[in-house]
Amino acid sequence: MRPEAHNKIHLPDNLRGRSIFEKVIPMVCNLKNMLDKLVICEGDHSKFKQWEKRSYQAYLIDEIKTQILGTTNKDRWKEIIRNHILSKEPSSLGASCIDMYLVAYVSENYGSGKEKFFQFIEKKGISKKRNVAQAIWQVGKGDGVFLDILNKDGTIKDWEFFNKWVA
């Protein structure tokens, strides 16, 4: 754990009652692509592919779809989704969303980077398959970078967001 990180907050392995080691295996679909598809389909998520539906459900997009479709500024999507995540109980969020927290947790407590993450996934018994660890890493890191809460190496970029998320 980085000393400066420890001074900011402690990331628990249980996010307000939700284990970060269970139900964390996503279908590989990143948040940005799913949102772009939502706009293309004019909000009709029944036209989504299965993996897009899983991302849609993981973030509970139904609850904020009108806000997302109501803005022409795609940068505003980040704020809408960040606020939405913070307003929800972690137990109601799906794998894609929780994977961002898992990537941050591993980076801050065990070390940053994909290899450290893969080792952690295997050590904790989440999966012994590299492709599963890759899916969690790809979705968690990718969505976190898109939302400006994670850096490209999986470390935390926005400590204020994580402070609110764990509170």
Helical spans, DSSP H, in 12-129: 31-40, 50-58, 65-69, 75-87, 95-109, 114-123
Residue 3 lies in a domain: no
What tens digit of pLDDT does each residue of 88-139 get? 999 999 999 999 999 999 999 999 999 999 999 999 999 999 999 999 999 9
Confidence band (pLDDT; 50, 70, 90) for 9? Answer: confident
pLDDT value of position 14: 80
Residue 9 lies in a domain: no
Domain count, the chain: 1
Confidence band (pLDDT; 50, 70, 90) for 8? Answer: low
Residue 74 lies in a domain: yes
Residue 1 lies in a domain: no
113, 154 Cβ separation under 8 angstroms: yes
Confidence band (pLDDT; 50, 70, 90) for 27? Answer: confident
Which range (2-11, 114-123, 139-148) has the least confidence? 2-11
**Both structure tokens of 75:** 């940068």
Residue type, 133: A
CA distance 149 to 69: 22
Q: 105: domain range?
A: 26-166
**What percentage of residues in the chain have a pLDDT greater than 70?**
95
Place of tokens 């080792």: 119
Q: Which residue has the higher pLDDT, 17 or 160?
A: 160
pLDDT value of position 2: 46
Residue 49 lies in a domain: yes
pLDDT(67) > 80: yes
Q: Which residue has the higher pLDDT, 2 or 63?
A: 63
Residue 6 lies in a domain: no
What rounded mean pLDDT belongs to the chain? Answer: 91
85, 50 Cβ separation under 8 angstroms: no
Place of tokens 């996934």: 121
Residue 123 lies in a domain: yes
Beta strand pairing call for 14-15 and 18-19: antiparallel
pLDDT value of position 110: 94
Residue 48 lies in a domain: yes
